[in-house]
Amino acid sequence: MQQTVLFILFVIFILGIGILLSRLLMVRAIKEIIRIFFNSGALDAQNAKTREELGIVPQSFLERMYRIRDYKPYALQTMLNAGIIRETSDARYYLSEEKLSATALNKYR
């Protein structure tokens, strides 16, 4: 009985570590996304860039097999859903500084 409880606690601990690590990697990816947009100058619709120009493309199947997960495409989608990153009609992206300043992500500038 005691071994079963210890095993369950161990599994819960491992799951917690996995969730924490995933969250930390997502925060790091969000910081990188903000840096990429500022460095490329994609801060308004006239200077918007494509995913390829920004270097934020999803990994291929083979890349996902042999490399650590790249959280930047997921971070981009999350920020797009929140309105921090906006998309133009021709699939170009830019960072909305007004929306960024209104969020807690402003500290990552």
Which of the 8 DSSP states describes residue 55? T
pTM, to two decimals = 0.81
Rounded Cα gap, residues 24 and 92, in angstroms: 27
Render pLDDT for 66-99 as a digit per residue (tens, 0 to 9): 888 889 999 999 999 999 999 998 989 999 888 8
Render pLDDT for 17-45 as a digit per residue (tens, 0 to 9): 999 999 999 999 999 999 999 999 988 88
Here the tokens at position 35 are 């840096």
Model confidence band, residue 109 (pLDDT cutoffs 50, 70, 90): low
What was the pLDDT predicted at 99?
A: 84
Residue ranges of domains in the chain:
28-108
Here the tokens at position 92 are 């170009």
Burial class (CB in 10 A: 0-12, 13-18, 19+), 5: exposed
| Per-residue pLDDT at 104 exceeds 70 | no
Angle value at C-alpha 33, between 25 and 82, nearest 5 degrees: 90
Closest CA to 80 of 41, 33, 27: 33
Model confidence band, residue 65 (pLDDT cutoffs 50, 70, 90): confident
Give, in words, the CATH class of 28-108: mainly alpha
Which of the 8 DSSP states describes residue 94? E
| Per-residue pLDDT at 49 exceeds 80 | yes
